[in-house]
A and B are shown apart, each in its own frame.
Chain A
Amino acid sequence: MDIKLKITDREGKRHEVDAPTDMALNLMEVMHMNEIAPEGTIGVCGGMAMCASCQCYISSNDIDLPEMQMEEEAMLSEAFYVKENSRLGCQIPITEDLDGLEVTLAPES
């Protein structure tokens, strides 16, 4: 099944995208696939929680995200423009529970 995601890009433009839940994708890969940001400015490290180029702010309060693991926490502690609701897209697997999730891609750094 596909879920719907609402993603605001770095220019403030909103995109509504469909994301398949059966392809083992993560949020960074969905943003990459949909060209939410130019190549080379998102998912630079390939999804190893090592660059924070997929940092996004989560706007939905009613959706439970997987708990942050140590690597993600450590990366976010060194990244810039970090807010309370920052997460790394590459560490959020696309599951049915995420249907309707709203996120904003953080600035490039």
Chain B
Amino acid sequence: MIKTDILIIGAGPTGLFTVFEAGLLKLKCHLIDGLPQPGGQLAELYPKKPIYDIPGYPEVSAAGLVDNLMDQIKPFQPGFTLGEKATDLKKLENGNFLVTTDEGTEHEAPIVAIAGGLGSFEPRKPVLENLDFYEKRGVHYMVKNPQEFEGQDIVIAGGGDSALDWSIVLADIASKVTLIHRRNEFRGALESVDRVKELKDMGKIDLITPAEITAIQGKEKVEALSIQKNDTKEEFNLPTDHFIPLFGLSPKLGPIADWGLEIEKNAIKVDNSLDYQTNIPGIYAIGDVNTYPGKLKLILCGFHEATMMCQSAYQRIHPDKKYVMKYTTVGGVTGFDGSKKQAPKAVVKSLD
């Protein structure tokens, strides 16, 4: 059981900055995110894109902003549960919340801050008959443990980085790798495209392009795929043990929608006049995941919401204390790791 003061769901920019604001108030944080790395959309969708509207930064790359935030919150020693999705929320008798992930990891905290952005990233599934039936029977939307494909025949579909990268990795593990894409061109890092071409020339990857997978066959599990070439319209069957469609991820609100929170337009309604609290006291929603009159889905608004939310969380945790806000220029930053950052003292010295 992981215990903390503020449990943050979503490790995007808003969730990360919450750790800083909470840290100034001596509150500890733990973050849960379904993606394997912190940064949310910034890291997953557009790490190299420049952002121009972060106050004080004329230009910063999405990945650069995430790195900076990680650096900024380091003194406050946040905990992370990454690669796991928060699926269940329960109120305990002691008033705390218990949040459990899809992997069964349990977290307990008096405050939950949902900074879930657009929701959790779900694999985009191809439109194929009986696809659900074959899930866990040879169809995989992500590769968690490459070794499980040792000595097996696999087919990967897709034209982006993940399709290329996994073809490369699995070429050395699986007995046969076939990569199928709708077009002849792939969209990915140049090295990956070149490497796949090398492996193709070495006979380690079969490339079928431009082609479409039209059906899955098999009684109990995947046994073969029906394939149609887009140029010649030729149709044929390709026997395989596994089918791994990698068509990117699309965000969905997911299980959070079933936690009893008031939802409007696919977002969580909060009180923006005060503290961004939801209809359940002790649960806040900040950043892109919330909605209120005049809401703007901007990182800088998420930062503001996180700051206000932490003040309110402090009052809930310490109802008897009165918090006096201190500027970091005055109070400095004292980390939980014992580090202390402070403005250097001005020199008072006569000049004669």
Contact = CB atoms under 8 A, between A and B. Distances in A.
27 contacts: A38-B265, A39-B265, A39-B266, A40-B118, A40-B119, A40-B253, A40-B267, A44-B118, A45-B45, A48-B46, A50-B46, A51-B250, A74-B159, A74-B187, A77-B181, A77-B182, A77-B183, A77-B187, A78-B159, A78-B187, A78-B247, A78-B248, A80-B127, A80-B247, A81-B127, A109-B124, A109-B125
A38 B251 CA distance: 14
A77 B266 contact: no
A48 B50 CA distance: 12
A48 to B, nearest CB: 6
B212 to A, nearest CB: 10
B250 A53 contact: yes
A44 B250 contact: yes
Most buried by B among A40, A53, A78: A78
Given A44-B118, A78-B160, A109 B266 contact: no
Interface string B112-134: 00000011000011110000000
A109 to B, nearest CB: 6
A41 interface: yes
Contacts of A44: 118, 250-251
Interface of B: 45-46, 49, 118-119, 124-127, 158-160, 181-183, 185, 187, 247-248, 250-251, 253, 265-267, 297
Contacts of A51: 250
B67 to A, nearest CB: 20
A77 B212 CA distance: 11
Given A40-B118, A44-B118, A44-B250, A77 B267 contact: no
A50 B253 CA distance: 18
Contacts of A40: 118-119, 253, 265-267
B208 to A, nearest CB: 15
Contacts of A78: 158-160, 182, 187, 247-248
Contacts of B297: 46
Interface residues of A, number: 18
A84 to B, nearest CB: 12
Interface of A: 38-41, 44-46, 48, 50-51, 53, 74, 77-81, 109
A98 B187 CA distance: 30
A44 B252 CA distance: 10
A41 B46 CA distance: 19
A58 B265 CA distance: 27
Nearest to B187: A74
Given A48-B46, A77-B187, 13 more contacts: A38-B266, A39-B267, A40-B266, A44-B118, A44-B250, A44-B251, A45-B46, A46-B297, A53-B250, A74-B159, A77-B159, A78-B182, A80-B247
A41 B251 CA distance: 10
Contacts of A109: 124-125, 127, 250
A48 B48 CA distance: 12
B287 to A, nearest CB: 14
Most buried by B among A41, A77, A80: A77
B175 to A, nearest CB: 27
A51 B119 CA distance: 14
A90 to B, nearest CB: 14
B185 A77 contact: yes
Nearest to B126: A80
Nearest to B210: A77
Contacts of A53: 250
A12 B129 CA distance: 24
B128 to A, nearest CB: 10
A68 to B, nearest CB: 13
A91 B210 CA distance: 24
